[in-house]
Structure 1
Amino acid sequence: MAEYAYLSTPDPEIAEDLRVMSENQDGPMDNTILREYLSNVLSADLRKALESELPSESKYDVKDFMFDTGDGSGAKVLARNIVPAKSAPDEKFPLFFWIHGGGWVAGDVNMDDPMLRIICANLRISVVNCEYRLSPEHVFPTALNDCYAVLKHVAGNPDQFSASLEKGFIIGGASAGGNLSAALALRLRDDPFFKEKPLTGQSLIIPMVIHPDAYSELPEEYRSQLLSMEQNKNAPGSSKESVYKLLTDYQGPPKDPYMSPLLADSHKGLPPAFIQVAGLDPLRDEAFVYEKVLNKNGVSTKLIAYPGVPHSGWYIFATKEVGKKWRKDWQDGIQWLLGFSSKN
């Protein structure tokens, strides 16, 4: 069965770029180099690429907060709140809680900052962009617990962030951030604290939802559909080897549903999900399977796939047509999720 194999054919617009990337690919990137690249090079390139789309700074306000992780270590993590300019002093907005990617080993609030400023101003939502301690210095479930601690504070104090959870309470992230978002959606569903403050949506971009060493735990009907880890094992930007290197650093137990949300005992009661999938990505097929499992459990979903685009495509090809489409779809997808909130 090769239901989604056609999605691995390179997008013609970026085929030459992908060829060059493949020629220059030389094994997984060292964590120190990856951190430097994501925090400085990629974020600067993205800001330059999106310069013409960035709203005037008068359209939003930005404030950084340091949050105690609550684990007794005294550690604090950074979260950046981006709030639309208010038409009235007490105006409140839907809340979008964002978690960056970077394979759990790299990344920070600057990675997605320009895109989140655009989303904040265009959709008039309050964005909380959350960092977490990175592996391998801080292994699973540190990142999950850090994000949970910040999210719990935000949900318990929405006025501090000019937010009204009744207008919308969405969690989202890309790659490792997508994994953490899906895991937190499960955790919050079962957490008494969030019974009166339920998530109303999740935006999962190129997420990992199952550790490849746990494929065998799935029923055959789903296991047989997980072919992209091999089909795209040498994909530019993110190969099978690099995926395993990051997982080794993160040390998440493969069968733990907070590592592999696809393996949760139940997916009933989860919030609607907007999922974006890269066709030329080792993680591709698990996103399709996750959507099927969510649907089977009564969860509304919308999934968009980008044929021939690699895992990191929405960053690298921001100025190409595929990058522009990805961002427009993301904005439309968040708008779609907001439609599920009770008092939008």
Structure 2
Amino acid sequence: MSDRDYLAIPDPEVAAAWENIPFPDQVPSAVDIASARANFDRFVVATMRRIAEPFLPPESEYRVQDYQIPVEDGEVTVRCLAPTPAGQENETFPLLFWTHGGGWRFGGLDMDDLNLRAVCVEFQIAVVNVDYRLAPEYPFPTGLNDAYAGMKWATNNASLLSADLSKGFLIGGTSAGGNLAAVMAHRAQHDPFFEGRRVTGQLLQIPVTCHPDAYPEKYKDELLSFETVGDPRLVTGEHLRVSYKNYGAPATDPECSPLLYPSHKGLPPAFLQVCGTDPLRDEALLYERLLREDGVKTKLEVYPGVGHGFHGQAAETKSAKKFAQDFKDGLKWLLQGGA
């Protein structure tokens, strides 16, 4: 019996919403990755875009530009957004560098594109969204290295992006993207490249923080959710194990399992969103605590009775609306330095 059992009691409004959503077969496949990706795009990405479309700001209020940037053994696309306030052509803005979710094997620029356009205008923030290469064709650490190269490119090209990193330099992502953001925060902390232009905040939505086979023994009694909760219509431990297998990272490598870094001291403030019936729940809660114990400013929001990524499918529910508003509040908190 866990003192977190209450978090797994289903949210009745979200449960009712599921009755009206035609979920496809979500049994993961480690073999037919093309079909699995097509299914993900048709269901998850298309739904997220449909939900976000009514909130798109006028095209006159921002600009969009894709760039091909060099990475190891190839190139990737970054999509760059910048506000265009009337009469302020030379204005500069804080920067948000974003890594999408999808278990390191699904997703792309389109996944969060419309949401990020709204964020760009509402918060007057430049945004770079990176299309890192996906596993299993490009296993660990390719996607991570692609994202990190994109982050360095954005840093070097801040003026091109109408960004001023002294006004704020945030990195963020959802799920596997949250994992990449957490790892990149650690990488950048000790990288001389970022001297004088350090990351100032982390946005970690439902992040992956530790491979279940590498859970530290001393915390195992509180790391129960991977095996005890999950929604087959969204994400279960089985789905996550397939993603880990495709990703191909050593379980104990902190660049796969950032919870395992020996220290988190000196990291920028972190905002985390965690769902009650998400298998990743307990590791994310522990990660937030370890950050806090190492002196990192944190802001945590937990959503009882809902699963991993629920907000992208049941957007009209109170819990999903709170999730969306909390994201905005968390972004604002980070732009204020975690004050």
Q: TM-score range by the shorter chain?
A: over 0.9
Is the counterpart of residue 295 in structure 1 residue 297 in structure 2? no
Aligned to 2:150: 150
- Identify if the C-alpha distance between structure 1 residues 244 and 52 changes in structure 2 by more than 3 Å, giving closer, same or farther: same
Matches of residues 191-210 of structure 1 in structure 2 within 5 Å? 191-210=191-210
Matches of 2:231 and 2:7, distance apart in 1 = 15
2:95 aligned partner: 95
2:264·2:294 contact (CA, 8 Å) conserved in 1?
Answer: yes
Q: CA deviation at 1:197?
A: 1.2
In terms of mean alpha carbon deviation, does 173-182 or 228-237 score higher? 228-237
- The answer to whether residue 59 in structure 2 is matched with residue 60 in structure 1 is no
Match of 1:333 among 308, 330, 334: 330
User: Counterpart of 2:223 in 1: which secondary structure?
Assistant: coil
C-alpha displacement of 1:316: 1.0
Is 27-36 or 86-95 further displaced after alignment?
27-36
Structure 2 unaligned residues grouped into runs of 5+: none
1:341 CA displacement: 8.1
How do residues 79-118 of structure 1 correspond to structure 2 at under 5 angstroms?
79-86=78-85, 87-118=87-118
Inter-partner Cα distance in structure 1 for 2:302 and 2:89:
41
**Is the 8 Å Cα contact of residues 26 and 233 (structure 2) preserved in structure 1?**
no
Q: Please tell me the root mean square deviation across aligned C-alpha atoms, in Å.
A: 2.0
Deviations 1:169-200 (A, max 9, x none): 00000010000000100100011111211100
Secondary structure, aligned partner of 2:146: helix
Residue equivalent to 1:164: 164
Is 1:324 aligned with 2:324?
no
Distance 1:23 1:336 in 2: 35
Distance, in Å, in 1 between the alignment partners of 2:41 and 2:26 is 21
Q: Work out the CA distance in 2 between the residues paired with 1:83 and 1:95.
A: 9
Give runs of aligned pairs for residues 1-344 of structure 1, distance below 5 A. 2-18=2-18, 25=25, 27-29=27-29, 30-69=32-71, 71=72, 73=73, 75-86=74-85, 87-215=87-215, 218=216, 220=218, 222-233=219-230, 235-340=232-337
1:206-226 deviations in whole A, cap 9, x for unaligned?
A: 1010000001xx252x32211
Assess, with a 3 A threshold, how the Cα gap between structure 1 residues 45 and 248 changes in structure 2: closer, same or farther.
same
User: Is the 2:10–2:304 Cα contact (8 Å) retained in structure 1?
Assistant: yes
Cα distance, 1:115 vs structure 2: 0.9
Once residues 329 and 129 of structure 1 are traced to their aligned partners in structure 2, the CA distance between those partners, rounded to angstroms, is 21
| 1:230-286 deviations in Å (ceiling 9; x for gaps) | 211555311111110110000111111100000001100111000001111100111
Return closer, same or farther for 1:234/1:128 CA change in 2, 3 Å cut-off.
Answer: closer
Q: Indicate conservation of the 8 Å contact 1:144/1:180, yes or no.
A: yes
Give the superposition deviation at 1:36.
1.7
Structure 1 residue 137, shift from structure 2 partner: 0.4
The answer to whether the Cα contact below 8 Å between 1:21 and 1:236 also exists between their aligned partners in 2 is no
Where structure 1 has 5 or more consecutive residues not aligned to the other structure, the ranges are: none
